[in-house]
Amino acid sequence: MLGKKLNILFLLYIVFLTGCNEEPPVVPGLTDGSIVIVSEPSGASIIFNNRETGLFTPASIENLEPGFYKISLKLTTYLDTVVYSIVNRNNTDTLVLEMRENPEVYWNVFNTLNSDLPINTVTKVLTAPDGSVWLATGGRGIVNYKNGVFINYNVGNSGIGDNFIQDLVFSPTGELWIAGSLGIYKFDGSNFVSYTRNNSNLPDDYVKCLTFDKTGKLWAGTFYGGLVRLDDTGFTVFDTSNSELPNNKIMALLVDNKGDLIIGTWGSGLVQFNLDSFKVYDSFTFGLVSDYISTLAINTGGEIWLGYSNVAGIGVGGVGRFFYKGITNYTFRDSDFKANVVTDIAIAGNGAVWITSADKGLYKFEGGVWKNYNTLNSGIGYDVAVSIDIDSDNVKWIAAGGLVRYSGGK
**Banded model confidence at residue 11, pLDDT cuts 50, 70, 90:** very low
Q: 18-22, 222-226, 382-386: which has the minimum mean pLDDT?
A: 18-22
- pLDDT tens profile 61-78: 998 888 889 999 999 999
Give pLDDT, residue 15: 36
- pLDDT tens profile 224-241: 999 999 988 899 999 999
Give pLDDT, residue 25: 55
- Percent of the chain clearing pLDDT 90 (strictly above): 83
Nearest to 38 by CA among 93, 76, 86: 93
- Return the half-sphere exposure (C-beta side, CA atoms, 13 A cut-off) of residue 232: 1
Domains for the chain: give ranges and CATH numbers.
Answer: 5-100 (2.60.40.1120), 104-406 (2.130.10.10)
β-pairing, 51-56 vs 184-187, is: unpaired
For residue 371, is pLDDT > 70? yes
Average pLDDT, rounded, for the chain = 91
CA 392 to each of CA 112, 311, 364, 407: distance values in angstroms, whole numbers, following the listed order: 27, 33, 18, 12
106 three-class SS: helix
Give pLDDT, residue 28: 56
Evaluate whether 297 touches 255 at the Cβ level (below 8 Å).
no
**Banded model confidence at residue 210, pLDDT cuts 50, 70, 90:** very high
Q: 10-19, 64-73, 308-317: which has the minimum mean pLDDT?
A: 10-19
Q: At 32, which amino acid appears?
A: D
Entry pTM: 0.88
In 38-138, alpha helices (H): 103-106
